[in-house]
Copies of this chain bind each other. A is one copy, B any other.
């Protein structure tokens, strides 16, 4: 499946992303919302499209894309590695402690609450992370 890159359209001020980084971005985007890929999985997919690509390039690419805000990095306790997903609306994550599957959950701390907490404690909040753990529908049965 051939996919045209939409990077320059998204951010015209940043037209030149190295092609390997575009490839990585492409892979994460194609995974779709709700999918969570580890660097190893992304590397495997990248290898198929560009044989010879190095592991370090994938790590570097993910780091860069994360800093640019083009992909989201997700650390979940219990999962052995970080996972990456396309950027999307703020949401929480649910991890099944039995099968390890990670699911998106539509929940975010109310911004009013965030403001109140920040004010009360004197800090500024840049990001919020909400993770639930339990048993998914499949494993519960």
Show the binding face of A for B, using Cβ within 8 Å: 75, 77, 94, 96-97, 103, 105, 107, 109, 113-114, 117-118, 121-137, 140
Number of copies: 2
* Docked pose: A109 CA to B121 CA in angstroms: 19
Question: Which residues from chain B contact A123 at a C-beta distance below 8 Å?
Answer: 94, 96, 103, 134-137, 140
**How many Å from the CB of A91 to the closest CB on chain B?**
11
A113 with B124: CB separation less than 8 A: no
B127 with A133: CB separation less than 8 A: yes
Q: A77-B75, A121-B94 are in contact. Are A109 and B136 (CB under 8 A)?
A: no
Contact of A128 among B121, B131, B135, B140 (CB under 8 A): B131
Q: Which residue of B lies closest to A107 (CB)?
A: B117
* Docked pose: A96 CA to B125 CA in angstroms: 9
A125 with B117: CB separation less than 8 A: no
Question: Which residues from chain B contact A97 at a C-beta distance below 8 Å?
Answer: 126
* Docked pose: A133 CA to B75 CA in angstroms: 13
